[in-house]
Each structure stands twice: as C-alpha cells, then as structure tokens.
Amino acid sequence: MKNKIKAIKPGSIAEEMEMEVGDYLISINNTKVKDIIDYKFLISDDYVEVEIQKKSGEIWTLEIEKEYDEDLGVEFEDAILDKPKSCHNKCIFCFIDQMPKGMRKTLYFKDDDSRLAFLQGNFVTLTNMRKEDIDRIIKYKISPINVSVHTTNPKLRVKMINNRFAGNIYKVLKKLTKNHIKINCQIVLCPGINDGRELKRTIEDLYKLYPEVENVAVVPVGITKYRQGLFNLKQYNENSAREQLEIAEELQKKYIKEIGVPFVRFSDEFYIISNKEIPSAKFYENYKQLEDGVGMVRIFRDNIKNGLKDLNLKAKGSFTLITGDLAYEEIKNAAKKIMKTNPHIIIHVKKIINNFFGNTITIAGLVTSKDILEQLKCEILGNYLIIPECMLRKGYELSESNKRVFLDDVTLEELENSLNRKILVCDYTGKDLIQIINENSEVE
C-alpha cells in the first residue's frame, strides 16, 4: 500500500495529532491522495480533514486547523507516493541508451514525470501526458515545470523524439502559458539536426510565450563510446560551436533591449569548445540555469575571487582537486590564485579522463569512481582529495538512502578506503572551497 509514513517531524502537526511512523495516509477532505501533487494541493487549506489508517488497521479521521499552506510534517516512504512515470520515447540523443551494460537497474530508468519536474527540477517532454494530466497541472498551478523542447518544428520533433505525439509541443506550451504556468525550457542541440535555422526558429517561437516561458537553456548532445547501432550523431567542434553562439548572440542582443535579459543562454561547454569568453555575471541573471551547466564557470570564478579574502594566510595544507577534462584549466587557474594568496597551501589539480563512458565525455558530473581510482592510485596526492558534489548521484532513486554514491555505484567511503585519503565534497560552484581548505589545514 502506498502513502506509508516513514518519518514524523518533531514539533509538527502530525506529532501533535499522534500520527506515527508506519501509518498510512488515505485521504484529505474525502479525496484520495494519488500522489505528492494531490497531497501538496489538498493539504494547503487552513482547515483539513485527514483520514489515516493506523498500523493496527484502525481508521482515524483527524480534523486539523492550521496556517494556510502549513505542512503536516510527515515524510512518506516514496517521495512521490507512487512509482515515477517512465519515458516511452526513443530520443536520438538519449544518454541512457548510451550506457554500458551490467550496471545497476535503476540507472537505466528513464523518467518523464511532471511530478519530478516539479519536485526535483527534472526535464520532461510532455509526450506521455493526457489532457487530464495537463488540466491537473493547470488546476493545481504546478509551476514552474521544466520541459525538454529541443525543437518547435513538429515533424522534426517527432523525428528527434521518435514519438508520434511529440509534434504538438507548441500547442501544449501555449495552453500551459495561457493559464500562467511558468516553464523553463531546454534544448539538447545536435549538429546538423536542430541547430542553425531550426535553432533560431525554436528560440523565436519560445520567446513569443515569454514571460511564462521564463528562459531557455541550450546544451550540446553528449556522445559516449557505447553508441553502436544508434542514430549517427556528431559532436560540436570549435567552428560549429561558435556558429551556434553567433546565431544566439544576435537574438540575445534583441531580447536584452526588449526585456532586459537574454532569454536564451548556452551551457559553458559551447564557450569552452569555441574558445569564446564566458559572459559576465549579469548575463546569467541570478544563475537560474546552473543545473544545465549554464554559468558555472562564471559563478566559480567569482566565488573564488570573492572568497580569497577569507583564505586563512596562516593555514598550511596539501590538497588534490579532482575534475573532468572540460573544467581542468579553470580549476587549475583557481588553484594558482589560492596558492599565490597563501604559498603554504599546496594544491594539485588532477584531470580525470572519462574512460568509463569514453573520452568524448568531458564534464565532471559524469566522472566515475573507477576512473578516479585507476588514474590516481599511482599519483602523489595531497592530504585531502576534493571533488565537486556533482560527481555524486542524487534524485528519485536515492530517496530512501543517505549514502553518497558515484555513478558507478561505489560509495564515497569505499573510494576513500581504496585511495587511503579523506575525500571532501565541495559545492560545484566553488562557494565553499576556501572554507573547506581553511577547515582542513593546519594553522602555523
């Protein structure tokens, strides 16, 4: 039975009403609770009647007066009170289809669930949603949601997603935005497929839905060494990446004049590949698209620059920073600045080549423990290793576990034991890097 309570917050309404771990939530205001969206909507009123089934089987009806939008203080065994909806698309660029065989089953699960888009920021295609599902988003004001658009060309989207229902995306987006649902859009850009003129068309179509479509993130397709038998895709090089940025820059200048922001932004990979300068902090408007890798280099640079004043000049220690190929030069420059400010701090920066997925995958977030171990086991290391938190998994599949785990299912503690080094986890924006160095250094 779903809706089983696994934790009660101390001092909460649930504790006051003598709800217990192991109880089941049956209904709120005589309405069955299907999932977390129902729960959050139904519980928001200042007076609710909650039906609970106790572990003994006894049914309790609790009349609760509370503040509007105040939660009961319960945590459910399943984060969404239901199994997530799987994706039935066969996108030509799907990363999961490029995974090696023999890994843990949950890593092959493709979610396309609007509830996870709301709760965890996942991107969904909206292809598996019925009219009733769209209407429920509007009724419950589930906003913002994150949508993988890729293209607004109906025929092209059907081809890219391999789903005959994929072509109506713009119609669905218009319905949602007409009802004031805020949407963040993502475009996975594939060379020769949805870039160039098609990219310009998609951006201009989405801009017509501003401000409900708040922003658009453009990321390059990721290609692993396991693409045998899949759609033939290329990667971006310096020239082709630069061409896409130049298409966007023309539109960005126009949008900045009209609404004060660029509306569409590219992930840092495009700038690094094309050797173009990373835009200023103002361009990224409070970094709303960091999860897409948009603005990570800029915020990292600024965090290091601003944090140097807090570096303990009496501290002494040695550290090894671990990163992927893409960010290597950036991390190395940051290490130089820290060591110049305090020469008693020694920092080695180690670039991990992604042998697990193939050296075409260069981002730190897809580095595995196996590659770290193989490439560092014979290296001279500092007293501490520092990794970015994006190397550790998160999301729905970890909802019942507090373990810090790499993508290849090895825990942080297991890698520590293998390397005989304590591993410190840093925010991927670098905001706590100076603090971590201060706290794990000796003071002269």
- DSSP assignment of 196-230: THHHHHHHHHHHTTTTTEEEEEEEEPP--S--TTS
Mean of the pLDDT values across residues 150-164?
Answer: 94
Mean of the pLDDT values across residues 331-341?
Answer: 97
- Write out the H or E segment, with its range, that includes residue 167: none
Give per-residue pLDDT as tens, 422-440: 999 999 899 999 999 999 9
Mean of the pLDDT values across residues 61-65?
Answer: 93
17 to each of 12, 27, 41, 114, 151, how far by Cα in Å? Answer: 9, 16, 20, 32, 50
Write down the H helix ranges in 21-82. 36-42
C-beta separation of 431 from 303 below 8 A:
yes
| DSSP-derived 3-state class of residue 419 | helix
| Alpha-carbon gap, residue 330 to 318, rounded angstroms | 19
Where does the pLDDT of residue 386 fall: very low under 50, low under 70, confident under 90, or very high at 90 and above? Answer: very high
Delineate the domains of the chain, giving CATH numbers in brackets: 5-76 (2.30.42.60), 96-294 (3.80.30.10), 300-443 (3.40.50)
User: Among candidates 233, 203, 225, which has minimal Cα distance to 93?
Assistant: 233
What is the value of pTM for the model shown? 0.82
Give per-residue pLDDT as tens, 198-241: 999 999 999 999 999 999 999 999 998 988 888 899 999 999 99
CA angle 334, 336, 342 (to 5 degrees): 105
| Alpha-carbon gap, residue 85 to 162, rounded angstroms | 18
Whole-number pLDDT of residue 297: 96
Mean of the pLDDT values across residues 70-80?
Answer: 77
Of 126-135, 221-230, 295-304, 427-436, the poorest mean pLDDT is in 126-135
| Alpha-carbon gap, residue 250 to 164, rounded angstroms | 33
Query: For residue 59, what are the β-bridge partners?
Result: 53
Q: What is the mean pLDDT of the chain?
A: 88
Whole-number pLDDT of residue 105: 54
- Other Cβ atoms closer than 10 A to 249: 15
